[in-house]
Structure formats: C-alpha cells, structure tokens
Structure 1
Amino acid sequence: MRIIDDDSGFSTSIDAILFLVLVSVSAVILFPSIAADEQYRSASYSSAQDMDTQLMNTIMSSTLEEFEYTVKPAELAGIDVNLSEDSILGNAEDTLFAKEQQHRTFSDLVAEGLVLGLVMEKNGTEKPLNPMTKMQRIETEKAIEEHLKRTIGQRYNYRFEAHWQPVSGYNIHSDIVVGETAPLDAIKQKARISVPVTYTVTRDEICQPFNESNIYASVNSPDADKELHNMFNSSIITASEGASDIITDIVFPYEYLSSLNGTEISIDSEQLACIAGPDNANYSSPIIKSALGCVNYTVKDLYGLNVELTTEEQSISLDFVNMAHDLIKEKNTNLISEHIFASQSDDIDQTVALICNASDNSSRIELADTQLSKIYRTANPGGADIIIMIW
C-alpha cells in the first residue's frame, strides 16, 4: 500500500473553521449596532405617536378668545326686521339675534357646532334640523380654519374632520370638514369628544324586559319566538325614546317656545326700535314671528305633520307647543325604532334562535345581553369622532 502525502484537506478545514470564527466575531461586534438600530426605530415610532397624541390634545384643549354668529329666523319666517327712523341701533338683526361667546375651548366649539349643525337626509338631499343656525355653521367652520392656521398651518398642511350621529347609521347626522383632501401617507390622529346632549335612558331600562324570570317564561311559552321578539321590540322602543329626546330637544326647543305663550309678550326697547317708533303702539314681536316660522318649518317641512300656525299670531299657545312637541317626539321615536329594528333584525332573529336552543338560563341571559348592548350602542353612540390629518 502506498501512502500519498497531501496537506490540502487540512488547509480547507482550517479555512472553514477560520471563516466561522470570523463570522462569529463579526456578529459579536455588530450586534450592538443592529440592536441599537431597532431600538432607534422603536423609539422614533413611540415618539411620533406621543407627538400625534400631544398635538391632538393641544388643539382640542386650546382656547378661542371670541366667537360670534347671528341666527337667521327672520328670513325663514318671511319677515323683514328693519330699523325704524327713530332707532339709534346699527343693525336690527344683530341686535335681536346675535350670539357672542368668549373663552371657549376648541372642543366645546366643535361639539356645539355639531349639535346645531344636524341635518336630516331625505332622498339624497339634506335639510337642517335647525335652519336658524346656518350662520353658526359657517362661522364655526371659519373659526376652526383660522384656529388651525394659527396652531399648525404655518408648518404643515392639514385636514380636520368632525362627525356626529345621535343614532348610529340613522339619516340624521352632522359633519364639519376643514382643509384639503389628505394624501394616503398623511399622519392621522383620532379622538372622541362628548357633545352637550344627554341620553335620558339607562342601559338597565333597555334591559328591563330581559330579567331572568321573563326569559324563562318566554322560552317555555307556546310561542317562544314571538315572545322573545316582542321583548326585543320593547327594548328597541325604550332605547329609541332616549335618542328621540335628544333630537326633539334640538329641533323643537320646548322650554323656549313655552315661554312665548303669554297673551302679552314683553318687548324691550331694543326690540321695539326694530319694529316701529316709540309713538306707534301697533307692533308685532319679531321674536314671535320668527318662532312661528321656525315651528312651521319643523312640523311641516321636516316631519310632514298637518299642524300650522300663521305668522300673524301674537303668541304661541301652550296647548299648541305641547301638541307639536308630543307629535314630533312620537314621530322621532317611531322612525328611530324602525331604523334600529331594520338594521339589527337578522342579528335579533339569530339571537332568538340561540336563546331558544340554549340549555340553561345563564347562557340565555348572556346571549340577550350581547344583543341588547348592540341596541344600546346604536341608539347612543356616545360622542363625536374627531380626525386630524397633517402632512
């Protein structure tokens, strides 16, 4: 046997081992740098998120020193509020209907603007719930734009959006949009603010039909499906009444209209100067005329009710106010109930079937509670959505 002397195999093995050693050493040297890079990215992302949140909080809590608008009831009522020759006032409409506010936070301004700017959508057209406040909407958007220009407009492009629905998915809503369409890579920050309205129905009241004994009795009744559907319908009506109260109070200011029911309406000197000179006793209050015009718009144009008062009336009777208020509230409740039932009928059908097939009452209560939460959140979404985009 002949042995061949060849050292090349040892050399190759040593090269491979040396290569692995060098790779390991490189990893040890470079690892802190790689890890630091990921840390920097994470810190940068967290910092950007903090800045976005801080920007939103700063804008929403900042203060506007002055905000003024004039309601416009006169043109709606078809009357002309003019100054008499003896008047020393500059503008009749401003004297009677101007509203001035000071030291309001930005979020308060937005929330109030959303409430007063509600519209009802019908057949592709929008009708304002409160037509007197169209100038308020214009002035609100102008004030928002001026404020955003001062705070972020000098450094960034921006778009501001505010959206509110008193009932989720319903045809009554309010939107404020200021700024150009944002690019896809714009920084977006969202928040939710409360609005100055009160949902008068509690969740417990909505859940009241579904106590343990009622569920047990319904499931064991000859027609469990019908009984459970009736219980859900009762909860929907209760939930709708809470939302109806909010919308009715906005569209029909009951307390204010009730204050105009006297046979002799007190008119101060400023109001009188807008109608006639001091020697003319045959005046008619522009407040009454404007209120009558707005009431007729609400009951006829918005809700199609067969109720009307002429603008020649010298007062608004309390009986009429009560009747119109009750009719509008009933109409709102019915419309909202129909909307909630239509949007959740499939879910309710499925929940009823599951309740009927459940083996114990605790499972039935849990199933009912899940569906009732959906009903509650539809009737009471809880606030307005705010979106700020900058780029």
Structure 2
Amino acid sequence: MGSSAKPYYKQHNHRTFAEIIAEDLILTLSIDNSSTIQTVDPIAISHKEQTRIAIDTYLDKCIAGRYSYQLHTTWEPVEGYPLKSSISVGIKPQIDAVKQSSRVTLPTNNRPSKSYLLGTINDTTLTTHINSSNTTKFGTYYDGFNKTIDAAALSSAQMIPHTAYPFEFNNTITITEQDMIRANQKNIANYLKNSMSEEINDTVSQMATTNDINKIRQLRDEKIESIYNKINKGYVDITLSIW
C-alpha cells in the first residue's frame, strides 16, 4: 500500500466503519447528470478509494475465503435530486445472498423537521380561507405548498453547505458557505417544484373544492408528508450481502 494511505489510516484507526462510511458519503457527493458523474470536491476521489481499501481489508480478514460478500450504500440528500454518493465493496451478490442492513445517521449540519414545514401552510391559513372562493383557496394553498418546498429546500441546503454545483459560481470570486447554501436551495427548490408539480396541483384542486376542514387538513398533511420524505435524508442504510 502506498504512502498516501498512511495519513488516512492514522486518522481513522480509532473510528468505527459506520463513522468512516458516513463521513465518506458526505465528503464524496457527486453530481450525477445521467451521462456524466462530476465529483464536487477533487479530494473526494482519493478519499473514496482509501475508504474502499479500508473496508475491503477488514472484510477480507473477517469473511473472505469462507464467503463472498458485497457491502453497499447510497446517499441521496434529496430523493431523485442529482447529487448523491455511494460506496460499493465486493462483487455483485447472488439472488440467494443473505442480506443484513443497518441504518446510520450522517453527521450533517441540519435535518429538517415536519413541524417546521407545517408552519408554511398551517391550520390558521386553512380555517381563514375555508369560505373563500375556489380560486382564492387554490392560489392560497398553492402558494403555501411552494413556501413549504422553499423551506424544505433551505433545510436540505443547510444540511450540505460544503457542496454546490461548480458552474454556479465564477472562479474569480470568493465563495462563502452562505453562497453555497443559497445556490443549493435554489436548485433543490426548482427540482422539487418541477418534479412534484402534478401531484401538488391535484392536491390543491381537491383542497379548493371542498369546505370540509377535516378533509382539507388530511390532504395538507399527506402532501407535507410527501415533501418531508423527499428531503429527510440525513441517514443511509448500509447493506452487507454474504453468500
């Protein structure tokens, strides 16, 4: 093993594999645009390789020779958004492989809360407009869900402040953490609004055409839950397959 690996092992030899994997997933986020994968931080390429070597070495000592194995995990801070990272060590598992998964919380800066999102279209808003025209209700609820997405995007952007699309900035200017947060918030919000447009329109239409406050709350809660599930990604499931 080359000398470049020594600082890595000196730094990580007292840490658990869960901690090493969690850190690697955060540091090695990449932009996946289907045709190309662009690593945000150039240092990540070396870090990823050393992480794989460390995991592979450990698993070889524990189970190689007796079993074949694969350890795999993928992190998407926002579901479907083209910013992700993954680790895969070993070969493709057979269909009958024994699989065991463990959920690991990532050491991110911030995780969004559901109550925070509910504040953007709260019960007061719903009851205030219960007898308004359908057009007014549609506009109010639609605007409320857009604010929900903006709030969700901000929480997600604060969770990954050290990353940003490279083309967002001119290389001649100093990029601050707040610049990166704003860039990520804008991109994430645009992505969520576009990808969820149809389902939000459908929900808002149903909310606007009923005066049943319980039904309106139910529809609101279901859509908040849907948005929340897309951005509450401060964890990963690590799967070890053995056969």
TM-score by length of 1: 0.57
8 Å contact 2:200–2:223 — kept in the other structure? yes
Counterparts in 2 of 1:381 and 1:218: CA distance versus 1, 3 Å: farther
Alignment pair present for 1:361 and 2:225? no
Question: How far is the alpha carbon of 1:68 from its aligned partner?
Answer: 4.7
Distance in 1 separating the partners of 2:10 and 2:181: 28
1:388 maps to 2:213: no
Amino acid at match of 2:149: I
Partner of 2:75: 164
For the 8 Å contact 1:127–1:302, the answer to whether it is kept is no
Q: Find the counterpart in structure 1 of residue 132 from structure 2.
A: 221
Partner of 2:231: 379
Following superposition, the deviation at residue 113 of structure 1 comes to 1.3
C-alpha distance in structure 2 between counterparts of 1:201 and 1:384, whole Å: 16
Give per-residue Cα distances to partners, 1:186-245, cap 9 Å, x unaligned.
Answer: 222223211111324322121102222201234433422111110000010001001111
Give, in angstroms, the shift of residue 69 of structure 1.
4.5
Q: Give the CA deviation at 1:172.
A: 0.4
**Residue 302 (str. 1) matches residue 215 (str. 2):** no
Aligned position for 1:234: 147
Q: Which residue pairs with 1:190 in the alignment?
A: 101
Please report how far the alpha carbon of residue 150 of structure 1 lies from its aligned counterpart in structure 2 after TM superposition. 1.3
Q: Which amino acid aligns with 1:235?
A: T
Q: Give SS of 1:332's match.
A: helix
Alignment CA distance shift 1:174-1:213 (3 Å):
same
Superposed displacement of residue 159, structure 1: 0.9
Which residue does the alignment assign to 1:335? 187
- AA aligned to 1:112 is E
Q: Does 1:326 align with 2:178?
A: yes
Query: 1-side partners of 2:83 and 2:38: how far apart?
Result: 9
Distance 2:36 2:11 in 1: 31
2:125 is the counterpart of 1:247:
no
Q: CA RMSD for the aligned pairs? A: 2.2
Which is greater in Rg? 1
Contact 1:141 1:178 in 2 (8 A): yes
The alpha-carbon distance between structure 1 residues 99 and 146, as it changes in their structure 2 partners (threshold 3 A), is closer
* Structure 1 segment 337-352 matched on structure 2, within 5 A: 337-352=189-204
> Structure 1: how far apart are the matches of 2:16 and 2:153?
31
Q: Distance in 2 between matches of 1:329 and 1:381?
A: 17
Paired residue total: 237
Quick one: distance in 2 between partners of 1:101 and 1:185? Answer: 34
Given that residues 69 and 135 in structure 1 are in contact (C-alpha distance below 8 angstroms), is that contact kept between their aligned partners in structure 2? no
Measured after TM superposition, the shift of residue 115 of structure 1 is 1.0
Q: Is the 8 A contact 1:244 1:332 kept in 2?
A: yes
Give how far 1:303 is off.
3.0
Q: TM-score, normalised by structure 2?
A: 0.88
Amino acid of the structure 2 residue aligned with 1:380: N
Q: Distance in 1 between matches of 2:14 and 2:51?
A: 14
State the 1:385 CA deviation: 2.0
Partner-residue secondary structure (3-state), 2:159: helix
After TM superposition, give the deviation of residue 138 of structure 1 in Å.
0.7
> 1:95 corresponds to which residue?
none
Letter paired with 2:146: N
After superposing on structure 2, the runs of 4+ consecutive aligned residues of structure 1 that deviate more than 3 Å are: 67-70, 218-222
Mark the CA change 1:68 to 1:377 in structure 2 (over 3 Å): closer, same or farther: farther
Contact 2:111–2:232 at 8 Å: present in 1 too?
Answer: no
Structure 1 residues 103 and 379: alpha-carbon distance in aligned structure 2, compared to 1, 3 A threshold: same
Contact 1:303 1:331 in 2 (8 A): no
Counterpart for residue 106 of structure 1:
17
1-side partners of 2:178 and 2:39: how far apart? Answer: 20
> Contact (CA 8 Å) 2:29, 2:83: kept in 1 or not?
yes
SS at match of 2:106: coil
Aligned pair partner of 2:61 in 147, 150, 166? 150
In the TM superposition, residue 154 of structure 1 has moved relative to its aligned partner by: 3.0
Moved more, 155-164 or 178-187: 178-187
Match for 1:180 among 91, 96, 104?
91
Contact 1:206-1:372 within 8 A present in 2 as well: yes
